[in-house]
Amino acid sequence: MTPREPGSVLLLRLAGPLQSWGDRSAFNRRETRPEPTKSGVIGLLAAAAGRPRQANLDDLASLDLGIRIDRPGSLLRDYHTVSDYRGRPLPSAAVTAKGRQKPTSPAKHTHVTQRFYLQDAVFLAAVTGPEPLVTALDHALRHPAFPLALGRRSCAPAQPMNLGLRTGTLEEALREEPWQAPRRVINRWGRDHGSADRIDLPATLDDPAGDDVRDDVPVSFAPKNRAYTTRHVRHTYLSAPTGLVPDPTAPPPADGGHDPFALLGW
């Protein structure tokens, strides 16, 4: 298997108040990776195209994926407790011969669950593959059949999501697309870096020769038969345009300093 030849590349801006890209979960703990998973991006594309959960995913799974981290965001833990308002023990997963749930033994009156999200993160995702498929997905994202979400249905995306088609390789498209962070973040960074016209951003690219393995390529989204396989990825940094114009007369940025709005993301 060799890297895909230059062709059509579809760019997606994955941004919103909350995102969650889990590649594993337990009954009481659902985590998120620090960047979108391939299963999450393919699920988004499948929803846009109107594919049911039982649909074949071979064509979507064969797409090459690249993720550029334009703003990593911060981790949020959502802590839940569940109890029976009548004071009764919670039911267990076991059932009786008549199909009724058994009570927990020993009795358990409170169940704790934790869900993790990324706050205020921004990612640039690029997918490439056969031109007819990529073009069809571009159209589907502009006219989605089902609601789109950033990993979980509760995580609504900000606009715009579909940035359109580009030509070239996956890495070229990610390198030449302007930085997608909020304008206030870009302007603040520019003040600290003399309005530099490029910034190095971390990226993860599908690469058969990559030295990292991810178990997040969906084989089936069927509720009772979910299955995944692995892919190789490569981690790198890409120099992307900031959209800022350097000012040769500006003094160099001062070291240190206190920004009272830093914690608020301004």
CA 236 from centroid of its chain's CA atoms: 17
Bridge partners, residue 212, by sequence = 233
The CA distance from 109 to 104, in Å, is 9
Q: pLDDT band for position 239 (50/70/90)?
A: very high
- Domain positions in the chain are 7-79+117-264
Architecture, CATH, for domain 7-79+117-264: 2-Layer Sandwich (3.30)
Query: Percent of the chain, pLDDT > 70?
Result: 89
Tens digit of each residue's pLDDT (9 = 90 or more) over 20-74? 998 777 668 889 999 999 999 999 999 999 999 999 999 999 999 999 999 999 9
| Amino acid 252: pLDDT | 52
Q: Is the pLDDT of residue 2 over 70?
A: no
Range among 24-28, 114-118, 221-225 rated most confident: 114-118
| Amino acid 94: pLDDT | 84
Bridge partners, residue 165, by sequence = 10
Nearest partner of 186 among 239, 240, 238, 244, judged by Cα: 244
The residue among 4 and 206 whose pLDDT is bigger is 206
Q: pLDDT band for position 112 (50/70/90)?
A: confident
Tens digit of each residue's pLDDT (9 = 90 or more) over 188-219? 999 998 889 999 999 999 999 999 999 999 99
CB atoms within 10 A of CB 59: 14
**Between vectors from CA 49 to CA 44 and to CA 54, what angle results, nearest 5°?**
80
Q: Is the pLDDT of residue 266 over 60?
A: no
- Average pLDDT estimate for 16-23: 92
pTM of the entire predicted model: 0.83
